[in-house]
């Protein structure tokens, strides 16, 4: 188990993280979300031992994770950290990068392991391609595979799909997180993308102004967002009578007290996102067809779409 006990950290006088505590069990997937500058990347670096804590403790199975004051080489062997900058060797092949730290005494096992990870990150056709010839997204996938090569106990991922295009992102997420679950590798992901969270995380925490403001399952936080910041991470939302209402929770009806005037329709594929004026405030709702500007509509909250 990973235990984060009341940790605080600041680069100078201002604290980036303050009194942070949470636990992650073996094999669990935790996602960390928050605005830019909220401390997501710093938290991952502290867990990896990149910095020395100002206060508190970080423990893995009861053993303290310590920073550079106590270690010549940062980062315990059982933890792998994949940053947004990839530390790859550009003049050797993808396979050679993935197998860089695997023993040469067992060549068959080494090649089997490389082949397995090439499949996980969907890079089989590029096995013998030099890394310098790859795109940014392909390099990110090599970095993921290399981090998994020695099967760490804990994997820290900082925006792991940020360079990967949408053609590959969906299948790669499924492949990677399925593999981590099968191998019971604990995973912490810092992300700004809800699609990294909803289908794959066991729990998620929200950082804001150096503190954790929410900690729960994705479903709990999605259906019961306590702040506008949390709601904005998941979807378009409205503040109506001081209640957070997602755009998909508003439906058009024949008559209601919520009367609005259409401003614009945005095509979203299988629905339109409608922007409308309600008491001189812009609100948003989803609708199956495009609505013309200045159309009067009546709306109600679909309570069935919101659970407590």
**pLDDT tens profile 261-281:** 999 999 999 999 999 999 999
| Closest by Cα among 200, 199, 197, 202 to 217 | 202
Mutual angle of helices 107-120 and 136-148, in 10-degree steps: 130
Which tokens belong to 257? Answer: 């007290």
| Closest by Cα among 187, 118, 122 to 149 | 118
Is the pLDDT assigned to residue 130 strictly greater than 50? Answer: yes
Confidence class of residue 308 from pLDDT cuts 50, 70 and 90?
Answer: very low
pTM strictly above 0.75: yes
3-state helix vs strand vs coil in the chain, percent to 5: 30, 35, 40
Ordered domains of the chain (ranges, CATH): 2-223 (3.40.50.300), 235-305 (2.40.50.140)
Q: What percent of the chain has pLDDT over 90?
A: 78
Confidence class of residue 303 from pLDDT cuts 50, 70 and 90?
Answer: low
Please report, for residues 35, 54, 72, 115, the alpha-carbon distance to residue 112 in angstroms, rounded to integers and kept in the order given. Answer: 40, 43, 33, 5
pLDDT tens per residue across span 189-235: 999 899 888 899 999 999 999 999 999 999 999 999 999 999 999 99
């Amino acid at each position: 188990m990973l235990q984060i006990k009341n940790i605080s950290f600041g680069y100078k006088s201002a604290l980036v993280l303050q009194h942070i505590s949470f636990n992650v069990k073996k094999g669990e997937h935790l996602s960390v979300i928050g605005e830019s500058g909220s401390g997501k990347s710093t938290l991952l670096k502290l867990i990896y031992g990149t910095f020395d804590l100002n206060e508190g403790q970080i423990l893995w199975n009861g053993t303290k994770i310590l920073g550079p004051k106590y270690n010549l080489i940062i980062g315990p062997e059982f933890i792998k950290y994949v940053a947004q900058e990839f530390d790859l060797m550009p003049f050797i092949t993808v396979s050679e990068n993935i197998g860089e730290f695997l023993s040469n005494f067992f060549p068959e096992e080494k090649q089997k392991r490389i082949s397995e990870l090439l499949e996980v990150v969907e890079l089989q056709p590029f096995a013998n391609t030099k890394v310098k010839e790859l795109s940014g997204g392909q390099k990110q996938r090599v970095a993921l595979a290399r981090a998994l090569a020695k099967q760490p106990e804990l994997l820290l991922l900082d925006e792991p799909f940020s360079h990967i295009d949408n053609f590959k992102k969906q299948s790669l997420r499924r492949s990677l997180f399925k593999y981590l679950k099968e191998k019971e590798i604990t995973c912490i992901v810092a992300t700004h993308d809800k699609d990294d969270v909803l289908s794959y995380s066991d729990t998620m925490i929200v950082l804001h102004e150096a503190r954790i403001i929410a900690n729960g399952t994705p479903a709990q936080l999605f259906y019961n967002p306590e702040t506008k910041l949390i709601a904005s991470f998941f979807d378009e939302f409205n503040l109506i009578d001081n209640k957070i209402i997602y755009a998909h929770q508003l439906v058009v009806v024949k008559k209601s007290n919520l009367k609005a005037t259409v401003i614009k329709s945005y095509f979203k594929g299988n629905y339109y996102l409608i922007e409308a004026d309600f008491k001189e405030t812009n609100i948003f709702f989803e609708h199956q067809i495009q609505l013309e500007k200045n159309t009067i509509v009546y709306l109600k909250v679909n309570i069935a779409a919101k659970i407590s």
